[in-house]
Structure 1
Amino acid sequence: MTWLLLAEAGVPEGGLFDLDATLPLMAVQVVLLTFLLNALFFRPVGKVVEDREGFISTSRADAKQKLAQVERLEADLAEQLKGARQAVQSVIVDAENEVDGLYREALAQAEAEANRTKEESRRGIEAERESARAQLKGKVDQLSTTIINRLLAA
């Protein structure tokens, strides 16, 4: 209360700086205003800012983990794709080898069948030739006998 009385007291005139109760009263007002602003505005705003920074750092950490997980999955999928390509290439090579084997087998069978048919045909022709020779020989013998008989009879 004495401060208030001093603040209301008349101001002496003179001097470059007059020091009276106004200075401590202003200091008290500044300190009270600082505590009041801190309690009403700065702490809640600071808390919101800290919460937001925490959320951002947590979100960044989660994003880094998810990115690492995606990179691992991508590497795994690339490895699986590589394995699948190798398996497909192996299947293609096996199929080509099998087709080539079947082709060679079919070709060998066809050649064997052609050779067998050719041999049978040769045997058939040879048999017919021998049969024709035997018939001709028989007819030649018969004609020669007939010619000899006619020549002897005449």
Structure 2
Amino acid sequence: MTWLLLAEAGVPEGGLFDLDATLPLMAVQVVVLTYLLNVLFFRPVGKVVEDREGYISTSRADAKEKLAQIQRLEADLAEQLKGARQAAQAAVVEAEQEVDGLYRAAITQAELEANSTKEAARREMDDERNQARSQLQSRVDQLSDQIINRLLTA
């Protein structure tokens, strides 16, 4: 009953703080509102943020792993390219040497053929010269016999 009397009693006017039943009611409302906000909004948002952070960290780790794999592959490809360049350079050098050898062999063969042709021509000219000398010698012998016969007959 005293509560009823106090409730009906007039509210004193003028103080800086009035301590009545509204203060505990407001405190309860703040606690309930905080709990509801936490349950309805902050936990789901926090869960989404944590899931997103987990996804980002997983993606970042995967990206680092893939980057390392790409760098290894790049190094392997660079090594293969270096080997291929060396092999191509060796093939070019070998081809140049082979062409040089074929060129020298062709030159040697051409010189041998030229020398044999020259030797055959020289022998042929010697034979023709010897034939011409023998013909001239027989003709000279005939003419000298004719001259001797005419001089003796005259």
Say whether the fold is shared (TM-score over 0.5). yes
Alpha-carbon distance in 1 for matches of 2:31, 2:48: 24
Measured in 1, the distance between the counterparts of 2:80 and 2:68 equals: 18
Counterpart residue type for residue 119 of structure 1: E
CA distance in 2, matches of 1:79, 1:25: 78
Please give the secondary structure, in 2, of the residue aligned with 1:19.
coil
Deviations along 1:107-154, one digit per CA (max 9) or x if unpaired, are 110011001000110111011111111111111112111211121122
Match of 1:131?
131
CA–CA separation in structure 2 for the residues paired with 1:74 and 1:34: 56
Q: Does 1:38 align with 2:6?
A: no
> 1:55, 1:151 → 2: CA distance?
138
Query: 1: CA distance between counterparts of 2:34 and 2:7?
Result: 27
The residue type paired with residue 144 of structure 1 is: S
Report the 3-state secondary structure (helix = DSSP H, G, I; strand = E; otherwise coil) of the residue aligned with 1:20: coil
> Partners in 2 of 1:13 and 1:35 — Cα distance?
35
Are 2:102 and 1:96 aligned? no
Structure 1 runs (4+) greater than 4 angstroms displaced = none
Alignment of 1:104-143 (within 5 A): 104-143=104-143
Cα distance in structure 1, aligned partners of 2:12 and 2:93: 113
Deviations 1:38-77 (A, max 9, x none): 1111111110111011111111111111112112211211
* Aligned-partner residue type, residue 99 of structure 1: V
Unaligned runs of 5+ in 1: none
How many pairs are equivalent?
149
Aligned-partner Cα distance in 2 for 1:9–1:95? 116
Q: Following superposition of structure 1 onto structure 2, how do residues 3-152 of structure 1 map, counting pairs within 5 Å? A: 9-10=7-8, 12-14=11-13, 15-152=15-152
Secondary structure at the aligned position of 2:12 is classed as coil
If asked which structure has higher relative contact order (CA below 8 Å, sep 6+), I would say 1
Aligned AA for 1:112? Answer: L
Deviation at 1:37, TM superposition (A): 1.2
3-state SS of paired residue (1:9) = helix
- How far the C-alpha of 1:17 sits from its partner, in A, is 2.2
| Residue identity (%) | 73
Q: Give the root-mean-square deviation of aligned CA atoms.
A: 1.8
